[in-house]
Structure 1
C-alpha cells in the first residue's frame, strides 16, 4: 500500500480558495456593519436628522424654552421631565426610581400592554389631549387613570405611557396635531432629560445575542453557509485502499533486528522484556495443553526441576531491566522453553 501525506504546499493550494472566500465574506460583513452604524444618532435620537430621528422635535422644544439634555445615565432628573424612548432596556427597579424622582415621566412603548392596534390618525377622546387634537398614534394599548387616543396614550399620576413614537419622529412631526401633542408631553417643564440607555443598562435586560448588530449576525450566517458548502465540496470519497506489492522482500531476521534497534535507541529494555515474556507464554501455553491466557507456571514446574514460584517470577516479573539484564532474561527464557520441550 502507498501512503501519501500532503505537504505544506498542497495544503495551502487546497485551502487558499476557501480562505479567500471567507475573507471576502468577512470584509463584506464589516463594511455592512460600519455603513449601518455610520451617522450620528439613530431612531428617536434628538441628534438624528434621519426620518426616524427626533432632531425636529428637540429643536422645537428648545425654541419654546425647554432645555433638552441628552444623557445615557440620567443621574439627575429632579424637577425635570424624563423621556425614555427605550424603557424595556432599563432595569425596572431603576426605571421606577427615576420616575419617582422626576417631576413627570414619558415612557415609549414599555412592556405590559394589554393589546396592540394599527398606527393611524386618532382623535384624543380625553381632556388631557384636547388641545392637541387628532394625532398619529397606535401601537400598544395600556390601562391607566386617564386614557386617550383609544388607550394608546394613558397617564397614571406623573407617568405618561404612549404606545408608539410616531409623533416624535422627523417624518411625522408636521402631520395632524403631532407637534402639539409632542410639545405637551415633553415640554411640561423647563428641563427635559432625554434618556437613551447605555450599554450597562441594556445588558441588564438583553442577552449577548441581542446586543450583536444585525450586520454581524447576517455576516455570521453567510460564513456558516459558506463553510457548509466548502465542506460538501471538499468531502470527496477517496475510494477503497488498493494493495500494492512491496518493492523488496524483507527477511524476518532483518525485521527483528530493526525492531531491536528501535527498542535500544528508545531505551525500552523493560518493554522489550515484557514482549519476550509474553511471547514465551504464548508459545508454551498450547505446548502444555492449556487454554490461552492461563498461567502455565505450575504445569512447567511439574515437567521441570524448577519451582512454580521461580517460573512465575521469570514469566510475569514487572521489575525494570537494563540492556544487560534483557540479554540475560532472553537466555533464561530460551533455556526454560528448551526444558519444557525436552520434558
Structure 2
C-alpha cells in the first residue's frame, strides 16, 4: 500500500529566530562598542592649521602646548567669534586658508584691536592686515638661522621652514627681519604686527624639527590671551559650509561598520541556509506500526536483548504515566513509585521493582513484565 507523505526539511521561522536573536544581539553590542571606541580614539583630521586638527597640517599640538603653558587660546570659527573675543591686550593669530578672502572679511579683521601674527598670508591678506611689509623672494632652504636681534627668534635658534616667502619693508616703517626675511615684525599705531612666510614650523608634522616648537611657542605665546583664527569654511557668497552627519563620522568608523555588515550577511546566509523546500514524495512502502513493533521485537529476540527490550518498555510506560501523575520528566524514582502506588493501591516496593528493577532473566519474565507495565498504566489512567 502506498500513499503520499510530506517531509518537513529545515527549521521553522520561530525556531530560526530563537536561534539567531542572541547572535544578533551580540553582534549589535560588538558594533556599538567598536563604533564608540573607534570614534573616541580616532584622529580628527580637520583642516589646514585648524586648532583642533590632529593631521600633519593641523595645529592641535601647538595649541595644546600653549594651553599647558597657561595661555588662554580661543578657537574662533567665524569673524563674529573674532570680534566678540578681541581686546587690546590679545594676540590675533591669522592662519591663511582657502576660506580667508574677500574685502569685507579682511576689512573687519583689520578693525579688530590687539597685536597680530599672520601665518603665510596671501597678497590680499598681507595688504589689509600688514601694510607695512611687502613680499620678497621665496626660499627653499631647509634650515635658517635668525641673524637678528628679535628675542623670540634668537632663543629658538635654527628653524626648518621647508620653503617660505620672504618679506621686506614697504615704506619708511622700521622692520625687524629674521631668517633672511621669512619672519618680519614692525610696530605701528601701538600695534605689533608679525608676519611669517611659512606655516610648516607651526604644524603638527613640523613642530619637532630643529627649533620649530620654540619659535612657534615664542611667537604665539607672548600674550596671555590668543585668538586662533584659521577659517575652515567660507563666510561670503551665502556658503554656510555646514557639514552633514555623515561628514562628522570618522572614516575608521565607516570601515568598521561595512566590515561588520559583510560579516552579518555571511553569518545570516550560513545560519539561514536550508537543504530544500518542503516536498511531497510518494513513499514506495507504507509500514504499519504493528509491523514495526513486531520487527523490532524479533530483532531483540534474535539477539537475546531482553535488557534492551525491558528498558524500552519501561521508558515508554514512564513517558506516558508521569504526566498523568503530575510529575516532571526529571522526577526521582522513589517519588514516581510512591505516586503510582497511591493511585493503584499497590506497594511502593512492587511498583519500584516493576518500573526500575533488574532486567528479565527469561523470555517469560519479559512477557510478564510487559503485562505488569500495561496493567499499571491502565490503573493510573483509570484512577
Give the TM-score taking structure 1 as reference length.
Answer: 0.43
Look at both structures and tell me which one has the larger radius of gyration over its CA atoms.
Answer: 2
Give the TM-score taking structure 2 as reference length.
Answer: 0.40
Of structures 1 and 2, the one with the larger relative CO (CA 8 A, separation 6+) is: 2
